[in-house]
Structure formats: C-alpha cells, structure tokens
Amino acid sequence: MIDRNSLSIEEWGDVISVPAAIGALVVTADPSGPMGLIKEFRAIMDSIKEFVEQHQTGSPLMGAIHTYLTTKPTEEEEADLKRWAEEQQEEMKANKPQTPEDMKTLVRERTAETLAMLRSKGATEDDVSLFKDLMYTVAEGVANASKEGGFLGFGGTRVSEAEESVLARIKAELGV
C-alpha cells in the first residue's frame, strides 16, 4: 500500500506536476485573456485539491497525496524540493519544447513515467485509475474555468472547440 513515505521528493514532484501539466495543455489549447488565464491556472490547483479531498478516504494513493499536500515539509524536504524544482527548471530550459506537439509529447511521456513509477511503488490499479481520473478532472476544471471568445465577460462559450478537442484527446489517451 502506498503512503506519503513511499515516494521521494522527486517522485512527489512528478505526482503533483503531471496533473498540472495536463491542465496547462488545456490552457494553451485556446489561451484566454489575463483574467481567464488566472482563473484557468487557479482551476488546476483547485481541481487537484477538491478531487483529492473527495477521494482520500477510499484510496491509499489519494490519501497519501492529501497527506503530502497538507503536511508541512521538513527543512530537509524543503531543501530537496527546491533542488528538484531548480533541476526541473534547468532541464526545461535545455529541452524546451519548440512546438505544441513537442509539449504534448513531453507531457505524454512524463505521464507514462509517473504512472509506471506509481505502479512500481505499490499503487493498485484502482489507485492508478483514480489518478487518471484526477488528471482528467483537472483538464475539465481548466476548460470550464473561463469563457472563451467573449468580450469583457460577455458572450463567448464555456469550453471552446480547441479545448474540447484537447479534452477528447486526453480522455482517450488516459482511457477514462
């Protein structure tokens, strides 16, 4: 059974960053204005938090994620997390995706690696399935966070065609 101590700081970074990266794919599918972008990026973390809170008691993985998100890290963990974030930033600079397709490929690879890592650490298939649901829930939350195509909040649609297309692709690739 997986718990907070089952994963390293780097692995926890992947568990948290992959759903956020999937949310970012939806943001970039049809960028909103400044206020819409704020709502969409806020929706990423809000969706993660709400999903994990709703499923923490029925899933060891969701319980572990909840504990990780709500427990203050030790000084050593904070230093490790900072180091990991700096390494990720340097890696992203060195291997910056040049096209939207490159970005999709990068997120797809990181997602597959994270799912494989969770399985290797003892997550059950039910937990992995729920983690996939979490990722899709984040994508939906972002798509619904802001209207697209309006002016000053008037008109527009809740989910644009470009976002619907990305959502359909994410859903198909995750198998949810």
CA distance 157 to 51: 25
Please tell me whether residue 154 adopts helix, strand or coil conformation: strand
One-letter amino acid identity for 169?
A: R
Predicted TM-score (pTM) of this structure:
0.86
* Dihedral angle computed from the Cα positions of residues 59, 176, 70 and 142, in that order, rounded to the nearest 10 degrees: -160
DSSP-assigned beta bridge partners for residue 37: none
Model pLDDT, residue 150: 55
Provide CB contacts within 8 A for 7, sequence distance 6+: 15, 64, 68, 121
Model pLDDT, residue 60: 94
What is the separation of C-alpha 59 from the centre of its chain, rounded to a whole number of angstroms? 18
Model pLDDT, residue 16: 92
DSSP annotation of 6 reads: G
CA distance 155 to 150: 5
Q: What is the pLDDT along the chain (176 residues), one digit of tens a residue?
A: 788 889 998 899 999 999 999 999 988 887 777 777 788 889 999 999 999 999 999 999 999 999 999 998 889 988 988 898 898 888 888 888 888 888 888 899 999 999 999 999 999 999 999 999 999 999 999 888 876 555 555 555 667 888 888 999 999 999 98
Using the Cα atoms of residue 69, residue 74, residue 78 and residue 83 in order, give the sign of their dihedral.
Answer: negative
